[in-house]
Amino acid sequence: MDNQAANPANKHKKILVVEDEQYLRDLYVELLTEEGYTVDFAEDGQIGYQKILDNIYDLVLLDLIMPRMPGITLLKKLEEENYDQKQKQKIVVLTNLGQENVIAEAISMGVRGYIIKSDVTPDKILSEVKYYLDQP
């Protein structure tokens, strides 16, 4: 099957993947890089938190259940820091089914949306990413 050609315009889109599970992190980074995006990653919430504060991303894929700093804690800390509401809209939560209450909590804290990892195929993740990046 044909590898999708990388879109050169994607180069300007900066994406951060915050995911503690190495295999999934590697996969998302590889997929998004192949698509031509500029991709950064963090292995846990603590590192992710620092990177979110230090950089400006067009999209952040944030896992919820992570060691050191779970996604919800990260979002709470951003709230405490008075992090820009508009920037917070760039965060999309990565999660597994069965965490509806946590998802609801994340949404109430101003994140953009959520992707259920176990439900979607890699190309669905790409199309979701594209959807979120295309929305103003």
Is there a contact between 13 and 59 (Cβ–Cβ < 8 Å)? yes
Stretch binding another protein (CB under 8 A), from 21-29, 37-45, 66-74, 85-93 = 21-29
Binding footprint of another protein, residue count (CB under 8 A): 19
Using DSSP bridges, classify how beta strands 14-18 and 59-63 pair: parallel, antiparallel or unpaired. parallel
Pairing mode of beta strands 91-95, 113-116: parallel
29 scored as a contact of another protein (CB under 8 A): no
The answer to whether 3 contacts another protein (rule: CB under 8 A) is: yes
* Chain contacts with another protein (rule: CB under 8 A): 1, 3, 21, 23-24, 27, 65, 96-101, 117-119, 121-123
